[in-house]
Structure 1
C-alpha cells in the first residue's frame, strides 16, 4: 500500500479539483520561496512585509472569490486553501489578505453601489489600494451592537465621531470601511486617508501578529460625502455578514499553522538523538505527534465540508463558528506542544512554533472569541441565548 501523506492522512488532496490543487500549490510555492525567507526577520522587528503585497496581488489572491472588477472569481474551497497556505507562512500575512478581501472588498462588492465598486475594487485587487475594517471598539469588541461611533447627516455629508480598536492594516490603509450608529440604524462608510479628523495610530509592544500592522482609528468630526456611504445595507447584518466571510477563511488558515509546526517538530525529533536514539523513537513523543495528526485531520475535514456547503449556498453562521472554534483551538494547542518538544530551541524564532503560537493567541481572540463561538453553538443546541 502507498504510504500516507503525514500531513494529509485522509487524502483530502483527492477530494480537490485540479484547479483547487493548482491554486494551493502555487500559493504554497510563493510562501516557501518568497514569504518564509522574510517573515522571521519582520516578526523580530515588528514590521509588515509590504514588499510582498504586489506579488500577492499578482497571484490573484486579493478579493479572489469575487467576480469581476479584476478579481479572480475563485470558489470558496480555493479561497480556504489560499488562507491555509498563507498562514502556513504567518498569520499576519493571511490576516492582511483576509482583511483586504473579506472585510473591505466584500462589503463594497455586496453592499456598495456600482460606482463604488468601479471606484475601489480594481485598485484593491491590484494591491494599489489597501483597506482596513473598523468595527471593534475599545470598550468591548464582542458586543458590536453597543458601538459608540456615530454618524450624523449634515446636508449632503455625514459627520463621524468615535474610535475603533485592534484594526489590521490601519496605518497602511488608503481606505477604511467603518461602521457607525446613525438615527436610521448602523451603516457602513468608506473613509479615505487624509480626510480631516481621520487618524490612524499604530499599536506598539505587541507580542503577537508582529509581522502585521495593528492600529487604532480615531474620528473627530470627519466629514464623509454621501457618495462614500454603502447604500445597500442597514443594521448589524452588514458587518456581521463581512465577519462570516472572514471567519470562513480563518477556519482554514490555522490548519496551515498547525501543519508548519508539525512538519518542523517531526523533522526535529527524527534528527535529534538522546540516550542513543532519536527523540521520535520514544512512545511519549509519538503519542503527542499522533494526536497532532488526528486533530489536523479532523480540522481539514471540517473546513472542506464547510467550503463545499458555502459553494452550494448552504453555509450557516453557526457552522462557521464551530469550525473557527475547533480549528483555531486545534492549531494553538499543537503550536504550544511543538514549542515544548523543541526544548530550548523552541523559544527562538529560528524555529516556527513559537511565532505561530504567539500569532494564534490573537487569532483565537479576533473575529469572535472562542467563548463567543462556543455560546453560538450552545444557542443552536438549546434554543436559548446565553449572551
Structure 2
C-alpha cells in the first residue's frame, strides 16, 4: 500500500465528544457508518481493520484463526504508550496468550469464578457495601464517591477472595492506575508491574508455607502438585488483583453518574425491590457505558472473511466494544438511550469467545449489590458539581471518572 493510499485512510480516534461522556467517540461512530469492517490508520502508519458491528465483533473473537498474543507479527499498537506497555504484558499472564496455553492456565481458576462460587460471596459483598455506606454517611458531606465508596468496595471484595490484606490497598491501587494510564512511560509501567509482582510473590510464598481457604492458597496447591509454576501463579494473582478492583470501581462511579444524569431511570431502580430488575439494570448499564473502551486487538493467523471483507493472514484487527453495544440490529431502534427495561443481556462489554472476562460473575454480583443498595440507602444522593467539571478518564485503557463529588 503506497503512502497516498495510506494517508487517505481515516485516522483511528477514541476521543469522546464534549458534552457526550457516555457515548462512543465520534470517530468510531463515523467509521461504523462506512460499514461494520473498515480500514483505519494508526499513529505508526499501520492500517488494521476496525470492526464496529455486533455480529462481526463476535465472529472475530470466536474465530480460532486470530491471535491475542502481543508478539504476533502484525498486532496493532493503538498508541505509542500501548506499544511501550507490551514491555509489562507478561505481568497479565494468560489473557495475552493463545490456546492451548491460555486454556491450561485459565482452567486453574475458572472454578473460583463460577456463578455458584461467586453467589456464596454475595453476603460478604452486601456487608462491605453497607459498611462503606455507613462510613460515608458518617463522614464529610459532600464527598468524593470514588474514594469513599466506588474504589474501596471492589478492593475489599477482591482482597477477600484472593486472600490479600486490604491494608495494602493504597499500594496496589496506585500501581494499577500507573499501568492502565495511557500517559505513563514504559519505565513507570515496568516499575509498577515489578512492584505488584514482587508483592504477590511474597504473598504466594507465605501461603505455600501456611495455606488458607482463599484463591491464592488454592493456586499454591497447584504449585505443590506440579501443575503450575510459582511464576505463573504470581502472574495470575497480579492479573486478578488488578482487574478485580479497577474495572468494577469505574463501573460503580460511572454508573452512578449516568443514573444521576437520568433521574427517571434512577427512580425506577431506587423504587424496585425486584432482584431480576436490578440484575437487568446492571446489564443495561454495562452495555450503555462500555468502560472497556478503545478497542480490543487481534491479528489474523490465516485468511478470513468478516463482514464481507477479506482479512489476510498477518493483518491487524481492532474490535470495538462500545459500537457493538450500540448496534440497533441487536439492541433496538434507540440503542443510544439508557433504558433499564431493555433486555441487554447480549452485550459484549465482557468480550466474547475464549478470552471473555473471567471475573464477569464477580463484577455482576458486586454491581447488583451496589446498585440495589446505594440509592435506596441514600435516596437524596445528588451530584455536587457540574458534569462539565467531572474529570473523566479519557487517558485510560479503562473508562471512568477520577473523582465524583456527591452530596445528600
Q: Which has the higher strand share?
A: 1
Q: TM-score, normalised by structure 2?
A: 0.27
Query: Larger RCO: Structure 1 or Structure 2 (Cα < 8 Å, ≥ 6 residues apart)?
Result: 2
